[in-house]
Structure 1
Amino acid sequence: MFVRIQAILICLVCSVVAHSQVTVTGEVLDAANAQPLNTAVVEIRDNNTQKVLQRLNTDASGKFTAQAATELIVVEISFVGYKPKTIKKPKITGQQIDLGTIVLSKSEVTLEEVVVRAEKSSTEFKLDKRIFNVGQDLSSTGMSALEVLNNVPSVMVNIDGQISLRGNSGVQILINGKPSVLADESSNALGTITADMIERIEVITNPSAKYEAEGTAGILNIILKKEKSKDLNGSISVNTGIPDNHSVGVSMNRRTNKFNLFTQFGLGRRSLPRYNSGINRDLVNNTEILTDGVNYRNEKFYNITLGTDYHINDLNVLTLSGSFAYEVEDQPSETNYQSFENNNLVAAWKRNEVTEATNPKWQYELNYERQFKDNEKHTLLASAIGSFFGKDQSSVFTNRAVTGTIDENDQQANTDFKEANYTFKLDYTKPLGEKFTIETGTQYLMNEVGNDYEISDLLEGAWVPNPDLTNNFTFDQKVLGVYGTGSYEADKWGIKAGLRVENTDLVTLLETTNQGNNRNYTNLFPSLHTSYKISPEVSLQLGYSRRIYRPRLWQLNPFLSLRDNYNISTGNPELDPEYSDSYELTGIFKVGKATLNSSVYHRYTTAVIEDVSTFENNVNTNKPYNIGTRAATGIEINGKYDPLRWLTFNGDFNFNIFQRKGVFIDRNFDFNGQQWSGRLTSKLDLPADFDLELSGNYRSGFESVNAVNEPFAYMDLGVRKKLFKGRIIASAAVNDVFASRIQISATNRERFYLYNRGYRGRFITFGLSYGFGKGEAMTYSGGRRR
């Protein structure tokens, strides 16, 4: 604390030396009755840069006194419900600027038309969502959308820009209720959106029937203000790291009266090692295979995004955007094998992999939004999104004996993978008076995949295709959804009910064997949400929704990459989807400088998809199956606490007990268990514009149908230094400081024992970024596009 006070004193002394202090005084009164306006907002800005030099409130007598380090200032006085007043280049006498009496007149618009902006950001419940209103305490700071998100309860953004909701990643981010390339976490495009552009952020943890029934960790919807400033915002960043992690990224956003133009492009390369070891033990024949090695994924990547919002008029907006990414992969890996019989070493060999791949990807979006004159919430939204991902990959596996003799052929794998996705969506919202609202809409999803996979063995110096491991698998899934919701919302209480109908048409085909598996099924997904505001500090929300998890391509495809002949993963085309009923009671409590969100939940899932190991000749094969039910009841707590202006604590805790019931091949898998996870992050604003972030994470061990997973803990560290008033930011981060994020699992059956251990190790990164316009300098992570 002494160091901080000392730094502040030094800054004050330097300020006095560099500038002549100016004292600004005045009195704010109501023009109608000459009564003082208590807590009116007074902002003093630099006339050249428009930077806020000081913000304060008037006292009970309507008076204020402020200090400015420059004579060239602009003073703006505002009060909710009154017309603001701006005073440019006020007269100075000596070192004193006396503004005298300033009168504010009430706004002529009716109360129903006034958009009330809180001076301080606040959170409130609205039926199936929580709304974080961005107040002037954040909107005038110049911070980016990522930093605004980090102020939202339950939301965490680490120094690398990774976003999580209630401790879970996989969050869907929307801009004005629709997908946007600006919301792509793999770029720094969100850095071009500044706090003064954001009206509010909607947090949805238990989505209603309006949203597709496929589950996510949650939804964050960033609502932008309607006013259209003419600012150019942007950021340029350069990064390096150990292991190799080098990238350059540029983001820009330009707003005019008619257009909002945005672009992002980047390039880089990185190396992602993973260390693995394992045991395959046959308890009947007393044989085992030991493995250990390291797998690398070296990448070069290039990507570009370009898009625009075209404001046709005040009621119609058209958005068109597209992105392209291209990756070049190289995967040099080596694994050591040892074979034992009756605890005696029989053979040892090395298996080397050389893999090369190219991955093109592009995406395009077209959105149209229509707002009707009768009510700003009366809207029509139509969107079309298309995307493509391809992978042309070749791998060569060679085996070299170290001890003894081996019967392992060299192998070659070739993959031609193509995936196309299309989404068409139409949403209509109609308020019926002040308290009732109806919503309806439809969505059509198309997912088309082809995976042509061939394995060849090296026999007598020639590559010979292996028909047992070669096939072309096609996957064609179409989902049509239609929904309707109705809601009633009063000042303190509200209720929202909805129903979504989804028809799924899935066709898979193994072309070599002509084995097809066609599924067509229709499901109902109801939802019900209610909220009650007990007081400004305490609110409750109760929700129910039914969700679905459809098997992914890699879970259905019986032919997957063969990296390790003794540990094989394969899909199951007979898989059925999982269905979950989710009940959740959530409360938000504000106590002083702390905000606490607490949820009690119960989730019941049927046809649970689990990987199951089968063992033969020391070869372990993992294959997914639908096995019984899972009932989980738990509590989730998220909190933010700011004990000091320069210190923030953010914590997440999740604990649940679960009950598994199921039978697989005459084996009973009924058991009870529990698991929990926690994270505590501290952020410190240090002197000289240094920021320090420490994040500790823990995941408990837990049991699944297939294995027992051991617990692990790890810590991340980051430091950031702002230069030139935040225009340049230098950052450094260490992920997994102690290289302790080690994942260990063990399977112990009557006939065999399996052990797997894997970790990525410590990653160190350094970054330098520059922000221009109103854009804050943001780190470009160059994240993978898939």
Structure 2
Amino acid sequence: MKYVLAILLPILYQIAVLAQDRPAGAVTGSIADEHGEPVPFATVAVYNAADSALAAGGTSDVAGAFSLAVKPGRYYLKVTFVSYRDKIVPGLRVANTPLAVGTIVLQTSADVLTEVVIEGERPPMELQLDKRVFNVSQDLSNVGANASDILGNLPSVTVDVDGAVSLRGSGNVRILIDGRPSGLTSRDPDALRKLQGNLIERIEVITNPSSRYDAAGEVGIINIILKKDKRAGINGTFVATAGTPYQLGASYSINYRKNNINLFSSYGIDDRNAPGYGSSYQRYTSADTSFVYSQYNDRERGGLAHNVMLGLDYFLTEKTTLTGSFLYNPSFGVNHSTNTYHDYDENGTLTRNVVRTEREEEDESTIEGTLSFKKDFERKDQSLTADVKWIRGVDDEATRYTEGTPGGALLQQRGLNNADETNWQVQLDYVHPLGQEGKLEAGMKTATRMIRNLYSLETREEDDTWTPLPAFSNNLEYNEHIHAAYVMAGNAFGKFSAQGGLRGEYSDITTELTETNETNPRTYFNLFPSAALSYKLKDNNTLQFSYSYRINRPDFRDLLPFSDFRDSRQFFMGNPNLKPEYTNAFELGYLIEWGEGSILSSVYHRHRTDVVQRIMTDVDEQGRTQIIPINLAEENAYGAELNLSHALFTWWKVNTSANFYRAITEGTYEDQVLSADTYTWTSRTTSKWTFFRKLDLQGSFNYRAPRVTTQGRNRSVYSVDLGTSYDIFQGKATVNASVRDLFNSRVRRSIIDNEGYYSSSKFQWQSRQLLLTFTYRLNRQKEKEKESERTEEM
């Protein structure tokens, strides 16, 4: 009872003080234990030195920090927390400015005879006003998976067969690593498959970003946070994974902190071979020609990938930190593919079989160096940060093709696609508190991106010489310079909170094809406003509204006028004349929280102009088709989203999400009306059971409903994932087993049905997979939030 009173009385007193005029002075500091770890929710009280009357009281926050407002005078401070000895700091003299007492270290009480530790698992999803945070390590189906697999398991997120990520039905989503653009995501969509999921701590989904963030990305931002610890001493996690189809991997994440230095490092290695298949049926009829053929594709993608990260935090002072980090991500892959074509005449009689093989050797690497400076001022919430990042990425692909009929002549070709990318980013951000709860934020950023891409295709002649094909060979130089500045302000007025911001971005982009001397320079300036409102209806019930104006610049791969030559019957070619897309996004959300769970419901609307879509254009007499991206149309998308998290019992937790949306697309191309009106939805439900505090079981069901496109429709996709984990070695280690896509049903199916042309296809990137993972923790608890409650023996 005395502990309850020790906590409640200062809190009640603080509430009473806040209702009066706020004194000019304050006492600030932080609470830590003997190991340097912060002590959250410790009771802090300030007493008058003359008569020991309570002057102010409160508790430390989750970082152990506290700030108590008092009038100028002489005081002493007392810190109490269950299981620790009381700590008194005498001789405090407070003037009209805040008095910093530094870090107060608490010692464990010797009177503690019995310790009871209550562990509560982090929820799979934490709902915050401006984002959703997914603690992906709690999802058993993610253990041993890569970053692309994990993203595909998030609510409202889908990942297609090429690794491209979509959010709420749109692929125009910005992906960040630790809050900043990274070569791991900007170089190649498939690069996410080379990032081991064991190195990821959490993923943040921001559906309507404020002006603080880059304006790129129509539907928002996905921020991948890598593991990094700052606890005192040495601690870490070691993971080994094996699976079928073939996968072997291992990783570690380790941290060492002493005094004012914090060293952190992680490494992951992954070797895998992922089999997949695809098939299609094509039929074309016109007044001049017709063709019918079926195709079967059998492929294997695999290789060895490494991820190395080293870093150092140097605490110049208690409130000033300098951080340097280095990331290196090399990978070496060999991909095999076989396409078999069956050609038929107009009567359905088989006329010939054609076999095309592909062997691609792919060497990729990313090197990143980051230097960050952060200064927290004495005034709460006042801070200055500065970041400099350099990124160098190399992606070299060399491919050999053969094509021919059984017993006939063999056509041999070779392709080269080498990309070299360099990025520089400089960013400065400042936050200044306004009044009691308000903040003014301002910052600037400049980013430079330079890409050199060599693409060529050659055919082997009878005399063993190689002849280049001019239509498929060129060199691209892409130079992008984006300069930005923003200002934001927000405050709370009782139950009402408001935030508004404005961001300006100047874009200077030049695309040059050096072989044909084609240059396409573009410069434009845009203002991007954002606004957010929230109203607390009652305890744990909040209504939110947000608005943002955003841009989606064409990716350099969509500007390349070269063809993807993997399928000799279907070519994708970029369009150097693409313009940016612009989006006005509105969202209204309602958040309800209670002790056992939470519900976040939201409705949203997006209006897009100059929408880029890939359409099928030319079809020749050999059945070869061409696909290009164009600024096709205008689109209005409406949606409703629901996220529910609930603990039915202490041993049974359920999390479910669903996203329903309608997209209306209207456009024309070469006098052809291309429009679509689609209703569709996606959902994911996860159920997790815990037995004996050591055994976890989990089942997940994913579903994506059919949807209509401008030239056809995509069919539904569903899958079931299972996982289990068991703690061993007194909780220091865990064994996990999981099955991804239990029924082998994760198959993408689509249909194009236009006048004179019909196509149906299906593709499976990877078949059902079984994974076994062993995790060992060094001086760390399992990935759970830990509440320690120590009680004295009666």
Where 1:438 maps in the other structure, the secondary structure is strand
Match of 1:319 in 2: 323
- 8 Å Cα contact 1:560/1:570 also seen in 2: yes
Q: Measure how far apart 1:416 and its partner are.
A: 1.7
- 8 Å Cα contact 1:182/1:189 also seen in 2: no
**1: CA distance, partners of 2:82 / 2:746:** 55
Match of 2:697 in 1: 692
How do residues 482-631 of structure 1 correspond to structure 2 at under 5 angstroms?
A: 482-591=485-594, 593-614=596-617, 615-617=619-621, 618-631=623-636
Q: Does 1:662 align with 2:651?
A: no
- 8 Å Cα contact 1:30/1:105 also seen in 2: no
Q: Measure how far apart 1:182 and its partner are.
A: 13
- 8 Å Cα contact 1:389/1:418 also seen in 2: yes
- Of 426, 433, 436, which residue of structure 1 is paired with 2:435? 433
Structure 1 residues 483, 235: CA separation in 2 closer, same or farther (over 3 Å shift)? same
Structure 1 residues 143, 186: CA separation in 2 closer, same or farther (over 3 Å shift)? farther
**1: CA distance, partners of 2:275 / 2:634:** 36
- Of 352, 360, 370, which residue of structure 2 is paired with 1:347? 352
**1: CA distance, partners of 2:744 / 2:502:** 47
- 8 Å Cα contact 1:165/1:217 also seen in 2: no
Q: Measure how far apart 1:172 and its partner are.
A: 5.4
- 8 Å Cα contact 1:489/1:495 also seen in 2: yes
- Tell me, which stretches of 5 or more residues in structure 2 are unaligned? 13-32, 44-63, 69-77, 102-116, 144-149, 158-166, 168-172, 186-191, 785-794
How do residues 30-41 of structure 1 correspond to structure 2 at under 5 angstroms?
A: none
- 8 Å Cα contact 2:251/2:266 also seen in 1: yes
Structure 1 residues 352, 427: CA separation in 2 closer, same or farther (over 3 Å shift)? same
Q: Measure how far apart 1:228 and its partner are.
A: 6.5
**1: CA distance, partners of 2:440 / 2:154:** 28
Where 1:409 maps in the other structure, the secondary structure is strand
Q: Does 1:300 align with 2:289?
A: no
**2: CA distance, partners of 1:502 / 1:228:** 35
Match of 2:80 in 1: 84
- 8 Å Cα contact 2:201/2:225 also seen in 1: no
**1: CA distance, partners of 2:183 / 2:520:** 35
Structure 1 residues 625, 222: CA separation in 2 closer, same or farther (over 3 Å shift)? closer
Q: Which amino acid aligns with 1:761?
A: S
Q: Measure how far apart 1:519 and its partner are.
A: 1.0
How do residues 4-403 of structure 1 correspond to structure 2 at under 5 angstroms?
A: 28=3, 83-85=79-81, 147=122, 150=125, 154-156=132-134, 157=136, 158-159=139-140, 160=142, 162=150, 166-168=155-157, 186-187=195-196, 204-215=206-217, 217-218=220-221, 229-284=231-286, 285-342=289-346, 343-373=348-378, 375-402=379-406
Match of 2:778 in 1: 772
Q: Which amino acid aligns with 1:392?
A: D
**2: CA distance, partners of 1:505 / 1:476:** 8
Structure 1 residues 524, 560: CA separation in 2 closer, same or farther (over 3 Å shift)? same
Structure 1 residues 349, 220: CA separation in 2 closer, same or farther (over 3 Å shift)? closer
**1: CA distance, partners of 2:531 / 2:691:** 46
**1: CA distance, partners of 2:9 / 2:417:** 79
Structure 1 residues 105, 313: CA separation in 2 closer, same or farther (over 3 Å shift)? closer
**2: CA distance, partners of 1:33 / 1:539:** 26
**2: CA distance, partners of 1:48 / 1:671:** 64
**1: CA distance, partners of 2:447 / 2:156:** 29
Where 1:607 maps in the other structure, the secondary structure is strand
- 8 Å Cα contact 1:231/1:774 also seen in 2: no
Deviates more, 1:565-574 or 1:261-270: 261-270
**1: CA distance, partners of 2:490 / 2:696:** 44
Q: Which amino acid aligns with 2:393?
A: F
Match of 1:4 in 2: none
Q: Measure how far apart 1:31 and its partner are.
A: 8.1
Q: Measure how far apart 1:341 and its partner are.
A: 1.5
**2: CA distance, partners of 1:571 / 1:370:** 45
Where 2:567 maps in the other structure, the secondary structure is coil
Q: Measure how far apart 1:173 and its partner are.
A: 6.5
Cα-to-partner distance string for 1:362-395 (whole Å, 9 max, x where unaligned)? 111111112222x131111110111122122211
Match of 2:107 in 1: none
Q: Which amino acid aligns with 2:731?
A: G
- 8 Å Cα contact 1:31/1:105 also seen in 2: no
Structure 1 residues 228, 385: CA separation in 2 closer, same or farther (over 3 Å shift)? closer
Structure 1 residues 719, 482: CA separation in 2 closer, same or farther (over 3 Å shift)? same
- 8 Å Cα contact 2:417/2:453 also seen in 1: yes
**1: CA distance, partners of 2:730 / 2:35:** 12
Q: Measure how far apart 1:324 and its partner are.
A: 1.0
Q: Does 1:479 align with 2:482?
A: yes
Q: Does 1:676 align with 2:697?
A: no
**2: CA distance, partners of 1:369 / 1:207:** 22
**2: CA distance, partners of 1:689 / 1:653:** 31
Q: Measure how far apart 1:189 and its partner are.
A: 7.0
Where 1:468 maps in the other structure, the secondary structure is helix
Match of 1:736 in 2: 741
Cα-to-partner distance string for 1:579-630 (whole Å, 9 max, x where unaligned)? 1101111110135523100111111011111000022221121100011211
Q: Does 1:464 align with 2:452?
A: no
Q: Measure how far apart 1:435 and its partner are.
A: 3.8
Q: Which amino acid aligns with 2:700?
A: S
**1: CA distance, partners of 2:719 / 2:350:** 36
Q: Measure how far apart 1:186 and its partner are.
A: 2.8
Q: Measure how far apart 1:48 and its partner are.
A: 14
Match of 2:47 in 1: none
- Of 408, 420, 423, which residue of structure 2 is paired with 1:421? 423
Deviates more, 1:490-499 or 1:359-368: 490-499
- 8 Å Cα contact 2:549/2:584 also seen in 1: yes
Where 1:410 maps in the other structure, the secondary structure is strand
Structure 1 residues 424, 581: CA separation in 2 closer, same or farther (over 3 Å shift)? same
**2: CA distance, partners of 1:754 / 1:355:** 27
Match of 1:5 in 2: none
- 8 Å Cα contact 2:552/2:580 also seen in 1: yes
**1: CA distance, partners of 2:657 / 2:579:** 33
**1: CA distance, partners of 2:8 / 2:696:** 48
> How many equivalent pairs are there?
671
Structure 1 residues 566, 34: CA separation in 2 closer, same or farther (over 3 Å shift)? closer
Cα-to-partner distance string for 1:451-499 (whole Å, 9 max, x where unaligned)? 1011111221332211221111121111111111122223411111111
Cα-to-partner distance string for 1:341-373 (whole Å, 9 max, x where unaligned)? 111211102111111121122111111112222
- 8 Å Cα contact 1:539/1:587 also seen in 2: yes
Q: CA RMSD in A?
A: 3.9
Structure 1 residues 352, 729: CA separation in 2 closer, same or farther (over 3 Å shift)? same
Q: What TM-score do the two structures reach when normalised by structure 1?
A: 0.78
Structure 1 residues 712, 221: CA separation in 2 closer, same or farther (over 3 Å shift)? closer
Cα-to-partner distance string for 1:423-473 (whole Å, 9 max, x where unaligned)? 111111111322432111111111111110111112213322112211111
**2: CA distance, partners of 1:394 / 1:190:** 30
**1: CA distance, partners of 2:6 / 2:545:** 46
Q: Measure how far apart 1:268 and its partner are.
A: 2.7
- 8 Å Cα contact 1:394/1:415 also seen in 2: yes
Q: Does 1:762 align with 2:765?
A: no
- Tell me, which stretches of 5 or more residues in structure 1 are unaligned? 1-25, 38-46, 58-77, 89-101, 116-139, 194-200, 779-786
Where 1:555 maps in the other structure, the secondary structure is helix
Q: Which amino acid aligns with 1:296?
A: E
